[in-house]
Amino acid sequence: MASLNFPPQLKNGSLVIRLSYQTTTADRKFLNTGFKVPGTKIKGVYKFWDAKKQRVKPGAEKCEEINDYLQFQENNFLDYLKECKARQKQPNINELTQLFKDGRGRAKANETLKPVLLDGAKIVQKGKGNLINLGPIGDLSPMMKLFLKFAVDKNSDVKKDSFKHYKTFAIQLQEFEKQRENGLVNVNAVDVKFYKEFTFWLISKHNNVNSTLNRKVTRLKTFLNWCMEEGYINIGTFKKAYKLSEVDASKFPLYKSEKDLLYKYIPKAGTESLVYWAFRFALCTGLRYSDVVGVMPANIKYLEDNGEKLYYLDIVEQKTQERTAVPLSKMALDILAKAKANSKGQLFNVPTDQECNRTLKEIGGAIKLDRICEVKQLQGKEMITEYLPLKEILSFHFARYTYITELLNSGLAPIHVQNNVGHNKLETTLDYNRDIQKDRLKETLLIQEKIA
């Protein structure tokens, strides 16, 4: 079976980070990444290398760059395996070698490109030819013309080969535009429907899933954000398709009455059911989306106290890279008992976070989460206040808001809440106290109105 690992090799006091890959038990190969970290040990454990996660620990020089590169190669490897499965072919060791060598230059290359936009239709660079060429300028939609400007503006000084991702994405975006019922579009025509259609098209047409799909949707959002910053997008038209950066964002925990509505809801089979139960689990644990998708049976552990088993999740949080022990309630354990691990061992086989959030909004609409929330956002130097129903802003992270707020309201010591959710600073946890009194007053008045 094909596999990929990153075993370091101690050489002259440094850990040289390598790729180790194979397609059978007899064809293992090694490839030097060009990266190394100090081989210092503390109590027999490397100071700058996490052997379990196969990643560089914080504090090492170029830590983020190295880990990004390792993740990049891992994504390449997984995408290659998916392609092999789709074509019903066996992975080939020589193809893997070429794949990793093509990606290796990305990590070390100091050579930069200075792309230039010519004729408003193509991006060129001396010695490299056409980096992106979408054809005659007259055939381009206003949206694609802007995309080329964006590619130049955002990549006026980039690493070698970075443009190949923009080239592929630009060609696919143009192809998607031309097959739509409404034909060519401008950026102000982008809405939630466009997002959904584009996501479905990437899945059905190009078999994109998981990390590949997520990267392309993120690239589209980055482009649209640039359009907004440059004044090409009308904020009123665009607000439902793109979430602006929030300033001092209010946190909206679900009220008990809203949770009751959610618990009574029966989700449809398929994606909605997967998202629903993952969100229910997050409500019980306060986990972020990035941590829920990584939960495996091996993370479930327990301590014994006077014959009683206290179950908890032993995880390393993706955002902070800190180990956290998350208590598991009976409801959380019941959800875990029903979950079925996928081929990677993950218990919650949910789609991308964007798709999860869209699904949650649909569920919020179905159960009528109509509470109006005040949302403050910054556009340029102007603060915009909007009053939106909860169902329109519901996202996976609301489970974390709810979990923390409920624990603080219940009187649990803030330091315990902080440890449960893995906040680095107690101030972050206490920040949730800002809205607790306001929420208490609102929910009390809501109940009094019902019983009056």
446 domain-assigned = yes
314 shares a domain with 283: yes
16 domain-assigned = yes
**Which stretches in the chain have pLDDT values below 70?**
1, 102-139, 154-165, 181-185, 192, 207-211, 234-250, 377-383, 433-443, 452
The whole-number pLDDT of residue 175 equals: 82
The whole-number pLDDT of residue 211 equals: 65
446 shares a domain with 419: yes
283 shares a domain with 139: no
123 shares a domain with 55: no
245 domain-assigned = no
305 shares a domain with 431: yes
271 shares a domain with 303: yes
The whole-number pLDDT of residue 300 equals: 95
**Final residue before a domain boundary, out of 108, 131, 153:** 108
**Final residue before a domain boundary, out of 208, 238, 268:** 238
The whole-number pLDDT of residue 131 equals: 54
For position 368, which CATH number holds? Answer: 1.10.443.10
392 shares a domain with 310: yes
Give me the domain span that covers residue 368: 256-451
> Contact, 107 vs 65, CB < 8 A?
yes
420 shares a domain with 312: yes
Q: For the whole model, what pTM was predicted?
A: 0.48
The whole-number pLDDT of residue 77 equals: 83
228 shares a domain with 181: yes
54 shares a domain with 35: yes
The whole-number pLDDT of residue 319 equals: 80
For position 222, which CATH number holds? Answer: 1.10.150
The whole-number pLDDT of residue 272 equals: 95
Q: Give the chain's domain count.
A: 3
